[in-house]
Each structure stands twice: as structure tokens, then as C-alpha cells.
Structure 1
Amino acid sequence: MGVSKGFGPLPDDGAGPLYLQLQAVLRKAIDEGALAPGDALPSERDLCEHYGISRITIRRALGGLVGEGRLVRRQGAGTFVSDRRAAPERVEKSFANLSSFSEDMESRGLVPSSEWLSRTRGLVTPDEALALALSPGSPVYRLHRLRRADGRPMAIEHSTIPAYCLPEPALAERSLYVALAAHGYAPDRALQRLRAVNFGPEEAALLAVDEGAAGLLIERRSFLRDGRAVELTRSFYRGDAYDFVAELSTG
């Protein structure tokens, strides 16, 4: 498609890494409306030729703007300017089924992905020890991730799991539940609590919504068949993206 409108030159002074220079050019074009919501970006190859920089640099620049919510990647279609004012397709999440974020998205034809915010090993805190029934000093993994569907930010997850469940936290790259199941620690049941929240500046920035926007906080404790707690997760969901449903009966 070539490179046309909205793609100004890199700064003449050449200050800073090339990927940050390109990000600044594209960010300005998007924020000023030269690149409109829904516009497709040229291919990485066309951008490489236009700016005379490597594909790795292009990918790093675009990846940063995807993380900011200004761009969205669509598998098999390319990279597009996102409409951050538009709500994502609403996802119906059942409270009756124990499923992972990845399973929920894939069941609806969406492509799940994760961005690590942090993944650390440490010793259990008193609150975690109480929730997970662990002894003081027990090692745990803490996994903080931004979850996306088709490139759009949907949820922030803060998970704590006993360290005996996985050899290393990086094994939860795609799905925590898939990784746990692969090592014999698949959750069998869970207790969940849902409440409404208003996003602070950090959550709002990650989820590409306005500060103070309404969201949902789900606190989950998952258990093995033998009763041991295997997961403690606090997840912040976009309020404009989820409907939570439960089937009730009189029995």
C-alpha cells in the first residue's frame, strides 16, 4: 500500500533511539487526527523502506503503541489505528464455569495474548499465606499480566501461586491453567468474589480507558481436587467489555 498521509519524517536532530523517534511521529499523527481510527498502517516492509530503518526497530516502535492502546494488531490483517473511545466486543463470562482468560477468548474466536508486567519469586505474605493455606516462609510466584484479545487490552491479572506448582513462572506464558495442568496441578474448583471499582491512573493507562472509568474486580481462589489452594488472583476487567452471568435454579 506504500506510505502516504500521516507519516511525517523522523526528527532532524536524531535525538534518542530510532524506535522512540518513530513512536513520537506516529503518536503525534494519531493524536492530531492525521491517522484516523480504523486506518490501516503500511506493512513493516514499506515502513522500513520509507524510513530507512530495520524491521526490528519498526516492530519495537509499533509494539509500544499497541501497548499504549493507540494501535491494534489483527491476526492475518495487519496493524490498525484503534478507536480508544469504542468499547470492545462484549464478552459473556459465566460464573458457573472454571475457565481461564485464554479459554474464554478462544471460545469466542478471539486471539488471546499477554504482556508481562512482572513475574517474580518471593516468600508468601501473611495475607497470601492465609488465602493459600501456606506456612510462613513458603516460596510463591507472583505473576502480573496485561491480558489482550485481538490486541485490545481487556484485563489486568495479579496472580500468586505456590512455587511447588511450576518449575518457573515463565511457563505460564500462554495460559496459567494450561501450565498448571501440564504439571499436575489443574484447579478443580474456585471461589470468586465480584465487585465494582473505578480505575486509578495506572489501571486506566494499561487498559486504554479514562481514569475513573467503571471496571470490575474479581478475586478468585482456586483449589485442587484434594482441597489445596493453588491460585490467588485479583483481576481488573474493563467494565465496557464484560457481562458476567450465572445460571440459577430453585433446587
Structure 2
Amino acid sequence: MAGLSRVTVRKGIQQLIDEGIVVRRQGSGTFVAPRIEARGARLTSFSDDARSRGDVASVVWIYKSYAQPTDEEAAALDVAADARVARLGRVRLSDGDPLAIEHAVVPAEFMPDLDHLQDSLYAALDAHGFRPVGGTQRVRASLATATEAGILSIEQHSEVLRIERRTRLANGRIVEFTRSVYRGDRYEFVTELNEG
């Protein structure tokens, strides 16, 4: 073992686990944590992305309810201050690993039935004829709060990516305003560049 003691090796492996470089799976062993490369120029859902990698997407719901929008949400969705919106909070998992926390707001007319909303918001919107076709997304680096770190199973102040997304229908109506926190140790957003 290259002259290292078992204690030193165990401490090194634990530090790699703490940094998110490797993951330990009960009964299976310790593995290098795969980095997820998300294409920044394509509008896709978390569930579709996970399935395309061969992973199983799942969700833990924090809340699903109807409410009036805040002033910021009303402006982002371009709806009246007294409009009804669906407010959705969830933890997104891939193969059982928590990778993101998402808080979405959707005009209620596009999400008339919260009881049948499963793991994919876009699948539910599509089922009602309101799947988004485009939008804008902003990504910035940040540090995880204590609550976010606990939910995502990472250390407090670990790097995270904060993503704000607004999507629209073919007619230009805004269908979704979402703020997400993604694990920075697992996600990279990649955009193709062309000479313009």
C-alpha cells in the first residue's frame, strides 16, 4: 500500500467522501462520484436528463399547493398580483442521491391538478398541453446554506450552482419560474460556442 498506514488511507478516503469526489454505497463499496454534464443550450427536465444517463429519477416533495404569487413571482410570470399559482418545492434525486432542490411557480391554469403531479413537472405540463418550448436560464456559483447542505447531504458552505429559469410556451406565455440549487461537486453546465 505504498507505505501508508490503514488509518491514513481511511482518513484520505473519508476526506474524498466529504468533498463529494467519491461515494460509499452500503454493501457495494466506494466509487468515484460521476460528474454530470448538463448541456446549457437545451431545454430539458431533470427527469429526462437522469433517464438519458441511465439513472432513476425520483423526487421528495417539500410542498405542493396553490397560492397567490409574491410580487416578484407575479412579475416573473407576467401575471396579475391576485392570480392563482401552483407553488412546488421538491428535492430531486438521481439513483437515490439528492442532487438538487427546486422551487417552482406555475400559473394555476397550466397546472390544474396537483394530485396527479408525479416526479416530472414537464411531463405534467405536457399532459395538459402546456410543455415549454424555450426560455432563459441564469446560473451562478454560490455556497450551500446549512439547510441546503443538510438536504443535499453535503458540507455547509460547499459549492453549489444557483439556477433561475423562466420558460415559455410557443405563444410566448411564461409557464414556469423556477429557482434551484444544484450540487456543485456533481454538476457542470456546458455550452457550445460558435464564432459569431
Q: Deviations over 1:127-170 (max 9, x none)?
A: 01100000110000111000000001100000000000122223
Where does 1:133-172 land on structure 2 (aligned, <5 Å)?
133-172=78-117
Identify the residue that residue 26 of structure 2 maps to in structure 1: 39
SS at match of 2:25: coil
Which of 181, 189, 196 is matched with 1:236 structurally?
A: 181
Identify the residue that residue 93 of structure 1 maps to in structure 2: 38
Which of 52, 72, 85 is matched with 1:107 structurally?
A: 52
- Please tell me whether residue 191 in structure 1 is matched to residue 136 in structure 2: yes
Give the alignment's TM-score, normalised by structure 2.
0.84
Change (3 A) 1:95 1:38: closer
- By relative contact order (CA 8 Å, sep 6+), the higher-ranking structure is 2
Give the alignment's TM-score, normalised by structure 1.
0.66
Where does 1:75-90 land on structure 2 (aligned, <5 Å)?
88-90=33-35
Indicate if the aligned counterparts of 1:120 and 1:169 stay in contact, CA closer than 8 A: yes
CA RMSD of aligned residues (A): 1.5
Change (3 A) 1:144 1:87: farther
Q: Hey, which bits of structure 1, 4+ residues long, moved more than 3 A? A: none
Q: Which runs of 5+ in 1 are unaligned?
A: 1-36, 41-79
Identify the residue that residue 117 of structure 1 maps to in structure 2: 62
Q: Which amino acid aligns with 1:126?
A: D
Where does 1:170-209 land on structure 2 (aligned, <5 Å)?
170-209=115-154
Q: How many residues align?
A: 173
Q: Which amino acid aligns with 1:92?
A: E
Q: Which runs of 5+ in 2 are unaligned?
A: 1-23
Instruction: Name the one with the larger strand percent.
Output: 2
Identity fraction in percent: 42
